[in-house]
């Protein structure tokens, strides 16, 4: 702001607000989250308790982890439309295999996510397939494969009790959900990793300008393969956690979470063109969507109304971000 | 592929020589043979789609368990009609350099809207409703386009958001599968013209291509669609109204999506609020298989329509071989990825050659 023509204060204030939004979208999102949370709980029960915070954190954890992988992919200017089916597949396979030991079941589930992510990464990074198509196709393959698998097994899926308690239990006087001990370290690693590690910087660089990256000696395809693989792994983790929260795994477990996962990333301020954004915004976005979902449930909104409001909010926030980033 | 006049005639080549050649006269009029050769070279992918369709039909005739009959042709056209329109919708947007994730949801909306309105309607009324809904499709699509242009939000995000909204609207119109259509309306697709081997659905699809797409493609706005998909800045600098053209592309997508929804109503005599959702992915598969470049500016609508037939016939073929439907889904997904993989490599090679 080098020149202040005629010192118009309102314009100054508007610019300052815009700049705050552009540089620290997390603050605005946090304010939105708190306001929405207070409104929801006052509307629902007329009071605000610590237990409501705990419940929100418990329900938001799977979505937040699912959106974590999506964030990484979208920072590289890609998109992964297979996260929801990967999560479902991992959770279902894990539940089917729980009779062979919990640890083995979880490992198999995670490995499945890793493999799906790797295939996506190879397609996008090495064969240069459009990310949208590659991941949509993989999601179709996963869904069909899962149906085949479900028909070939006859044991009913059972969620391991350890996973169930991971998804629902709380400690320290019932206020701290156990899943926070999974989610929080993961969030810290992702946030710090993106901010400070060489690989994290490369993810941003690849999203911002892949050509410049290649010329600078970065192997863009390696970054892409790594990011999609990570995304698959995180999606599997989210699916397993969701199975724990619901204490059940069926063939449609996480399929409704695809659009919320993308919405959380977009609300969090990560551009679909890549190069900007981060996980703090995404986590806040996931929490906002969870609270919003509670509010709509309390208001007895039908699935139809819910989807319309979801769509409108994504569009509105994306529009605000677009305007802010244009002016700055 | 000849290299000499390629760049200077990028826009003209997209319109395959016909009307665009008049607008952009080539240096030295080429002979007919030369033109034909050029057409085959430029339309190699579409020719490939035709060959693929022929091969899979031959395979169907050869391996059909009870003998390939006109009934199979009718099933094919019946199954392909909604997808063919979905593919047209996606193609128009992709050609102009955009993407539309709301095609499937829009098809659902028009499917349930028509099924609900036509449930007690007579045949002439149903036809009137169809035309009203086509106009509705144009308006709905324009809304998408205007949102993309005005908000400057990436088209993926805008159409993703509108796909939420539209699937919500579809659920509001019809909470669960229901509704209906007059019997004669279904016959628009089910009936046959002359022999049993030419289903009316095929005629309808061809009529849409000839009466709607062809005039558009030969007109200035149609050329502008290719121009903004090929190189948006260059098109802008050449005086093409980019914003208006983008809105046009989405409006046409909405129109074709409305036709897709109507086709779904005609073929199933039913409205289902989630019936359209599968067509988003499948439309991409058809677009890519049909020779439309995902980066925009190249391709047409005939290729994707042929590809829609190929994709539908693959499913039937798998059922001839008694492949389990779940496996069929895996195979279809793999085919989509495989096709895009090959397409991606073709683009890569072309990019290297430039």
Residues A46-57 have pLDDT tens digits of: 777 777 888 888
Q: Do residues B53 and B33 both lie within one domain? A: no
Residue with tokens 């190879």: A122
The Cα of B348 is separated from the nearest Cα of chain A by a number of Å equal to 8
Question: Touching check for B197 and chain A: CB below 8 Å?
Answer: no
Domain count for chain B: 2
Same domain? For B115 and B203 the reply is yes
- Based on the fold, state whether residues B24 and B146 are members of the same structural domain: no
**Pair B101, B216 in one domain:** yes
Q: How many whole angstroms separate alpha carbon A255 and alpha carbon A248?
A: 14
Residue with the larger pLDDT of the pair B70 and B251: B251
pLDDT at site A89: 94
| Contact call for residues B77 and B313 (beta carbons, < 8 A) | no
Which among A220, A189, A237, A317 has a CA at the least distance from the CA of A63?
A237
pTM reported for the whole predicted model: 0.81
Residue B37 shares a structural domain with residue B133: no
Residues B204 and B246 in one domain: yes
Residue ranges of B 243-282 with Cβ closer than 8 A to chain A: 280-281
- What average pLDDT does the structure give for chain B? 82
CB contact set of A113 (below 8 Å; sequence gap of 6+): A86, A87, A89, A90, A232, A233, A234, A235, A236, A237, A239
Phi, psi of B328 (to 5 degrees): -60, -40
Length of chain B: 354
Domain housing B20: 1-42
Give me Rg for the CA atoms of chain A.
Answer: 21
Distance (Å, whole) CA A271 – CA B258: 31
**Residue A126 near chain B (CB below 8 Å):** no
Look at residue B21 and tell me whether its pLDDT is greater than 60. Answer: no
pLDDT of residue A242: 92
Q: Are residues B68 and B38 in the same domain?
A: no
Rg (CA), chain B: 20
Average pLDDT, stretch B114-124? Answer: 87
| Residues forming beta bridges with residue A177, ordered by sequence position | A170
Q: What is the DSSP string of A39-105?
A: HHHHHHHSS--HHHHHHHHHHHHHHHHHHHHHHHHHHTT---TTHHHHHHHHHHHHHHTGGG-HHHH
The torsion defined by the Cα of A257, A258, A264 and A270, in degrees rounded to 10, comes to 160
Tell me the C-alpha distance between A226 and A23, whole Å. 28
Average pLDDT of B319-342? Answer: 75
Q: Which residues of chain A have pLDDT under 70?
A: 1-9, 21-22, 325-328
Report pLDDT for B293.
81
CATH of the domain at B308: 1.10.3470
The reported pLDDT for the residue numbered A109 is 92
pLDDT of amino acid A241: 92
- Please state whether A77 falls in left (phi above 0), alpha (psi between -120 and 50) or beta: left
Q: Give yes or no for a contact between B286 and B90, defined as CB atoms under 8 angstroms apart.
A: yes
Say if residue B80 is in the same domain as residue B61: yes
B205 is written with which tokens? 């699809």
Q: Are B264 and B210 members of one domain? A: yes
Q: What is the pLDDT of residue B179?
A: 82
Are residue B34 and residue B56 in the same domain, yes or no? no
B349 touches chain A (CB under 8 A): no
Q: Are residues B38 and B55 in the same domain?
A: no
| Residue numbers in B near A319 (CB within 8 A) | 151, 153
CB contact under 8 A, B284 and A136: yes
| pLDDT at B11 > cutoff 60 | no
d(CA A246, CA A64): 16
Residue B22 clears pLDDT 80, i.e. is over it: no
Q: Does A122 touch chain B (CB under 8 A)?
A: no
Of A189 and B11, more confident: A189
CB contact under 8 A, A144 and B175: no
- In angstroms, the separation between the Cα of residue A178 and the nearest Cα of chain B is 33
**Contacts A136 to B, Cβ<8 Å:** 280-281, 284, 336
- DSSP states of B4-66: TTTTTTHHHHHTTTHHHHHHS--SSPPPHHHHHHHHHHHTHHHHHHHHHHHHHHHHHHHH-TT
DSSP classification of residue A7: G
A11 touches chain B (CB under 8 A): no
Residue B175 forms contact with A (CB below 8 Å): yes
Average pLDDT over every residue of B186-192: 73
Q: How far is CA A200 from CA A25, A279, B295, in A?
A: 20, 12, 28
Label residue B3 by pLDDT band (50, 70, 90): very low
Given an 8 Å threshold on Cβ–Cβ distance, is B151 in contact with A148? no
pLDDT at B40 (0 to 100) = 67
Residue B151 three-state SS: helix
Please tell me whether residues B321 and B281 are part of one structural domain. yes
Amino acid B13: pLDDT: 42
Residues B59-84: tens digit of each pLDDT = 888 877 777 777 778 888 888 899 99
């Amino acid at each position: 702001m080098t020149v202040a023509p005629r010192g118009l204060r309102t314009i100054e204030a508007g610019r300052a607000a815009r700049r705050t939004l552009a540089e620290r979208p997390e603050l605005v999102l946090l304010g939105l989250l708190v306001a929405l949370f207070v409104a929801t709980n006052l509307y629902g029960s007329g009071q605000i308790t610590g237990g409501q915070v705990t419940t929100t954190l418990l329900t938001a954890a799977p979505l937040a982890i699912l959106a974590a992988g999506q964030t990484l992919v979208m920072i590289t200017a890609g998109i992964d439309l297979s996260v929801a089916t990967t999560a479902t597949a991992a959770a279902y396979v894990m539940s089917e295999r729980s009779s062979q030991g919990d640890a083995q079941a979880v490992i198999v589930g995670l490995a499945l996510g890793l493999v799906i992510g790797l295939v996506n990464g190879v397609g996008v990074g090495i064969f240069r397939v459009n990310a949208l198509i590659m991941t949509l196709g993989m999601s179709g393959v996963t869904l069909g494969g899962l149906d085949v698998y479900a028909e070939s097994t006859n044991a009913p899926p059972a969620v391991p009790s350890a996973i169930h308690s991971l998804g629902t239990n709380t400690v320290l006087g019932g206020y701290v959900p156990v899943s926070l001990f999974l989610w929080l370290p993961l969030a810290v690693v992702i946030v710090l990793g993106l901010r400070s590690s060489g690989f994290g910087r490369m993810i941003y660089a690849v999203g911002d300008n892949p050509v410049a990256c290649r010329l600078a000696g970065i192997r863009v395809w390696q970054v892409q393969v790594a990011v999609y693989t990570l995304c698959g792994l995180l999606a599997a983790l989210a699916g397993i956690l969701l199975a724990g929260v619901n204490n059940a795994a069926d063939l449609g477990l996480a399929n409704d979470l695809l659009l919320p996962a993308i919405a959380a990333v977009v609300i969090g301020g990560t551009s679909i063109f890549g190069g900007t954004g981060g996980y703090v915004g995404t986590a806040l976005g996931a929490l906002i969507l969870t609270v919003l979902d509670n509010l709509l449930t309390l208001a007895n909104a039908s699935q139809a109304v819910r989807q319309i409001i979801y769509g409108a909010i994504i569009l509105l926030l994306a529009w605000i971000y677009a305007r802010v980033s244009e002016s700055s | 592929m000849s290299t000499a006049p390629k760049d200077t005639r990028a826009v003209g080549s997209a319109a395959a020589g016909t009307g665009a050649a008049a607008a952009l006269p080539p240096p030295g009029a080429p002979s007919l043979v030369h033109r034909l050769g050029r057409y085959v070279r430029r339309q190699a992918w579409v020719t490939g789609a035709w060959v693929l369709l022929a091969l899979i039909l031959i395979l169907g005739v050869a391996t059909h368990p009870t003998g390939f009959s006109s009934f199979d042709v009718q099933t094919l056209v019946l199954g392909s009609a909604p997808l063919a329109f979905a593919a047209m919708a996606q193609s128009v947007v992709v050609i102009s350099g955009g993407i539309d994730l709301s095609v499937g949801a829009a098809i659902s909306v028009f499917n349930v809207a028509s099924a609900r309105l036509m449930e007690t309607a007579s045949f002439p009324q149903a036809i009137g409703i169809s035309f009203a809904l086509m106009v509705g499709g144009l308006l709905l699509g324009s809304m998408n386009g205007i949102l993309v242009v005005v908000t400057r939000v990436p088209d993926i995000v805008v159409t993703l958001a509108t796909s939420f909204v539209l699937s919500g609207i579809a659920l509001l119109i019809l909470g669960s599968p229901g509704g209906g259509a007059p019997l004669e309306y279904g016959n628009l697709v089910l009936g046959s013209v002359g022999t049993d081997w030419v289903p009316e659905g095929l005629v309808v699809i061809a009529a849409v291509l000839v009466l709607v797409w062809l005039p558009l493609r030969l007109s200035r706005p149609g050329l502008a669609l290719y121009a903004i998909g090929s190189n948006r800045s260059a098109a802008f600098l050449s005086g093409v109204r980019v914003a208006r053209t983008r809105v046009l592309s989405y409006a046409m997508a909405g129109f074709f999506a409305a036709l897709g929804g109507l086709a779904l109503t005609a073929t199933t005599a039913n409205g289902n609020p989630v019936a359209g959702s599968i067509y988003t992915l499948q439309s991409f598969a058809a677009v890519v298989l049909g020779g439309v470049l995902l980066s925009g500016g190249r391709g047409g609508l005939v290729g994707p329509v042929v590809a829609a037939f190929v994709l539908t016939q693959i499913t039937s073929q798998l059922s001839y071989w008694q492949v389990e439907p779940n496996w069929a889904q895996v195979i279809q997904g793999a085919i989509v990825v495989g096709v895009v993989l090959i397409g991606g490599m073709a683009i890569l090679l072309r990019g290297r050659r430039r």
